[in-house]
Amino acid sequence: MTDFPLVVFDLDGTLVDTAPDLISALNWVLAREGLPPVPLASARKMIGQGARRLIERGLELEGREMSMADVTRLTTDFIDHYAAHIADASEPFDGLIAALDNLEASGYRFAVCTNKLEWLSQLLLDRLGLTPRFQAICGADTFGVSKPDPVILQQTVARAGGRMSAVVMVGDAGPDIGVARRAGIPVIGVEFGYTEVPIADLKPDLLIGHFRDLPDAIARLLPSAPQ
């Protein structure tokens, strides 16, 4: 166990703007079923609960009902296509790299806790050159539970070598706020992510609209951490 303060990030809609590639893959699957594409602007709000749920919601928009087996087939096809195009248009949100540099220089370390599959998360961060930044990258399949179950966050912190008394969560949607609350840690909400419920309505401890504000927000929530 080490003594650094740990910042745990959600991935989609928090660290990286993945919506263009996710929705492109969704629309590829829908087109094969003879369904029209989902507009990117509205589909951004559908992201964050895993690939299968994204497929289900895409089908729901068109009133198409499918068997569980068919949804499983589409989800497998979606993941295969998405993996091949995972970083075609996805980019870190503006200011992320500078914020990580600032925090790392002050002694903070980082982890990822996402409802994306671990191998897809690893692949995306590899392609973007971000993997070395994180002590741990954990997904919905890593521990067999998803956010907002607190076990995924607790185990992510453990894998990263952190301690729950010196952790802050950063996320964009309900599962992130929920997992932090259930694990008893502070949480920062980002206003630029993917959520149907406005992030302010979910009442994170602090809100930021740009990553330039992250170091100060973290310093407010982890006052015993290095400044």
Residue 56 pLDDT: 92
Strands 6-9, 109-113: pairing is: parallel
Which stretches of the chain score pLDDT less than 70? 1-2, 224-227
Cα–Cα distances in angstroms (integers) from residue 124 to residues 27, 86, 89, 149, in the given order = 20, 6, 11, 24
User: Which residue carries 């989800």 as its tokens?
Assistant: 75
Residue 1 pLDDT: 46
Q: What angle do CA 122, 126, 128 make, to 5 degrees?
A: 120
Q: Kindly state the tokens that stand for 62.
A: 């068109």
Tell me the longest C-alpha to C-alpha distance in the chain: 56
Kindly report the CATH class assigned to 6-17+90-221: alpha beta
Which one-letter amino acid corresponds to residue 134? F
Kindly report the CATH class assigned to 19-84: mainly alpha
With contact defined as beta carbons under 8 Å apart, do 215 and 106 qualify?
A: yes
DSSP track, 119-143: HHHHHHHHHTT-GGGEEEEE-TTTS
Per-residue pLDDT tens digits for 126-143 = 999 999 999 999 999 999
Residue 108 pLDDT: 96
b/e code 62-77 from CB counts within 10 Å (16+ = b): eeeeeeeeebeebbee
This prediction's pTM? 0.93
Strands 134-138, 16-17: pairing is: unpaired
Residue 200 CB burial class (10 angstroms; 0-12, 13-18, ≥19):
exposed
Residue 225 pLDDT: 58
- The catalytic residues are 10
The domain limits of the chain are 6-17+90-221, 19-84
User: Which residue carries 């370390």 as its tokens?
Assistant: 109
